[in-house]
């Protein structure tokens, strides 16, 4: 603000008052223009969080709600919601003359951000050394108070014990024990609205997917994923987890940042009925796209076929099968051998170039505006931002 007014015509009052909130572009500046209780307000159209288009949000009383993750700013003074007033966006002076609204582009107040310490997940992925690390993820769902025998989880535990005997460190994550929210589809609003760490992880301290992200991205050399077959597909918890992992893949798209390097993934798939190849194909496709690599013969599986409805026999078969136990051992041996070779050849830090269709940059006006506004990378744990 240099003291010289720079008035620009926005349009007729009658026309502008029709929308309670709209995003305008004035000389390349994005403006969130509101009309509430007979008064206009003009703020920067770029949110402090990760650059959401404020004028495309909605009004909640006197507050503009960002359409991406719900941060709020007072529609006329630009201050954050009560308790976060200092988290403010620039505001502009308006005047009405002869039935027309004008904005002074030089009257802008400063953008101000509260300090938000980054979540530990956001740290750079470090090289891994020491013993190889094997993460087991069991995606089977069950009632903890009334548990049952899970054939996929039993084979996963067999593989983890074998890995420990071979000198690896191991950990087991059971998705059924974690309370985590379903992906809310921020990506579907804008690629830049899907952040790393996950926007839900940033906003909801009670969400429990964090240890899975932590182990998958920062800790493991080998990830063994075990799933039952449910109606010819992997378990619902598997899909709930991988939808939340869109943020890992999306870093390649929006930030040219490959979070997973030399990450070996292998699968354990069991079911009373068939569908193994369809399940394996979908799972391999997902893990390939987030940047994982596979050992030769990357899955073991068991099914007694389409007509097998006698599930008691299925459980007994797996419990008594030396072949499946040996298969689990060999799967983790192949995975460890692959991980050891990759560590030796490549190291594990963040040095991978993105490729394929993910090599395309994102060219959008809004993202340019966000960059110009100096909007910071995702880093918040701002309470109350979920509408």
- Assess 69 for contact with ligand FES (CB under 6 A): yes
Q: How far is the CB of 384 from ligand FES (least distance, A)?
A: 11
Alpha helices in 1-41 (DSSP H): 13-16
Alpha helices in the chain (DSSP H): 13-16, 151-165, 199-203, 210-213, 236-244, 246-255, 276-289, 311-320, 322-346, 365-372
On whether the CB atoms of residues 105 and 28 are closer than 8 A, the answer is no
Question: Max alpha carbon distance in the chain (Å)?
Answer: 88
Q: How far is the CB of 123 from ligand FES (least distance, A)?
A: 21
Q: How far is the CB of 125 from ligand FES (least distance, A)?
A: 24
- Assess 66 for contact with ligand FES (CB under 6 A): yes
Q: How far is the CB of 93 from ligand FES (least distance, A)?
A: 24
- Options 14-22, 44-52, 153-161, 168-176: segment touching ligand FES (CB under 6 A): 44-52
On whether the CB atoms of residues 120 and 208 are closer than 8 A, the answer is no
- Assess 49 for contact with ligand FES (CB under 6 A): yes
Q: How far is the CB of 296 from ligand FES (least distance, A)?
A: 43
Nearer to ligand FES, 23 or 262 (CB): 23
Q: How far is the CB of 354 from ligand FES (least distance, A)?
A: 23
On whether the CB atoms of residues 311 and 292 are closer than 8 A, the answer is no
**Which residues 6+ apart lie within 8 Å of 36 measured at CB?**
20, 59, 62, 75
Sign of CA dihedral 229, 232, 237, 239: positive
- Options 50-58, 174-182, 220-228, 330-338: segment touching ligand FES (CB under 6 A): 50-58
Q: How far is the CB of 37 from ligand FES (least distance, A)?
A: 24
On whether the CB atoms of residues 226 and 156 are closer than 8 A, the answer is yes
Picking from 209, 139, 154, the residue whose alpha carbon sits closest to that of residue 180 is 209
Q: Which of 40, 41, 45, 52 binds ligand FES (CB under 6 A)?
A: 52
Q: Which of 40, 63, 71, 216 binds ligand FES (CB under 6 A)?
A: 71
Produce one character per residue of 251-283: b if its CB has 16 or more CB atoms within 10 Å, e if not: bbbbeebbbbbbbbbbbbbbbbbbbbeebbeeb
- Assess 47 for contact with ligand FES (CB under 6 A): yes
- Assess 162 for contact with ligand FES (CB under 6 A): no
Region of 243 (left: φ > 0; alpha: ψ -120 to 50; beta: rest) is alpha
- Options 26-34, 46-54, 91-99, 122-130: segment touching ligand FES (CB under 6 A): 46-54
Q: Quickly list DSSP for 177-193.
A: G---PPP--GGGT-GGG
- Assess 68 for contact with ligand FES (CB under 6 A): yes
Binding mask 101-140 for ligand FES (x = CB under 6 A): ----------------------------------------
- Assess 72 for contact with ligand FES (CB under 6 A): no
Q: How far is the CB of 218 from ligand FES (least distance, A)?
A: 24
DSSP state of 312: H
Region of 185 (left: φ > 0; alpha: ψ -120 to 50; beta: rest) is left
Task: Tell me, by CB under 6 A, how many residues bind ligand FES.
Answer: 10
Query: Residues interacting with ligand FES, by CB under 6 A?
Result: 47, 49-52, 66, 68-71
């Amino acid at each position: 603000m240099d003291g010289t007014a720079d008035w620009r015509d926005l349009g007729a009052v009658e026309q502008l008052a029709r929308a309670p909130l709209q995003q305008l572009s004035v000389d390349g500046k994005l403006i969130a223009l509101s009309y509430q209780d007979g008064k206009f307000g003009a703020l920067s159209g770029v949110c402090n969080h990760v650059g959401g288009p404020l004028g495309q949000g909605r009004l909640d009383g006197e507050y503009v709600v960002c359409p991406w993750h719900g941060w709020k700013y007072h529609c006329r003074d630009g201050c954050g919601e009560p308790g976060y007033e200092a988290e403010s966006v620039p505001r502009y002076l308006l005047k009405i003359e002869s039935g027309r609204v004008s904005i002074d582009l030089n009257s802008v107040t400063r953008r101000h951000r509260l300090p938000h310490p980054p979540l530990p997940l956001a740290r750079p992925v470090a090289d891994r050394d020491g013993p190889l690390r094997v993460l087991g993820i069991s995606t089977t769902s069950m009632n903890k108070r009334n548990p049952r025998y899970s054939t996929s989880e039993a084979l996963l535990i067999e593989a983890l014990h074998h890995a420990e005997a071979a000198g690896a460190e191991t950990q087991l994550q059971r998705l059924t024990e974690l309370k985590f929210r379903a992906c809310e589809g921020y990506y579907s609003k804008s690629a830049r609205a899907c952040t790393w760490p996950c926007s839900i992880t940033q906003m909801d301290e009670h969400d429990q997917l964090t240890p899975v992200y932590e182990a998958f991205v920062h800790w493991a050399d080998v990830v063994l994923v075990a799933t039952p077959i449910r109606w010819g597909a992997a378990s619902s918890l598997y899909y709930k987890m991988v939808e939340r992992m869109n943020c890992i893949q999306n870093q390649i798209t929006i930030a040219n940042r490959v979070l997973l390097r030399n990450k070996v993934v292998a699968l354990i798939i069991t079911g009373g009925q068939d569908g193994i190849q369809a399940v394996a194909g979908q799972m391999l496709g997902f893990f390939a796209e987030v940047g994982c690599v596979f050992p030769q013969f990357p899955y073991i599986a068991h099914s007694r076929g389409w007509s097998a409805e006698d599930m008691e026999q299925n459980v007994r078969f797996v419990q008594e099968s030396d072949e499946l136990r040996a298969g689990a051992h060999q799967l983790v041996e192949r995975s460890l051998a692959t991980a050891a070779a990759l560590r030796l050849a490549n190291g594990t830090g963040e040095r991978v170039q993105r490729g394929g269709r993910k090599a395309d940059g994102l060219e959008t006006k809004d993202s340019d505006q966000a960059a110009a506004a100096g909007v910071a990378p995702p880093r918040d744990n701002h309470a109350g931002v979920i509408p």
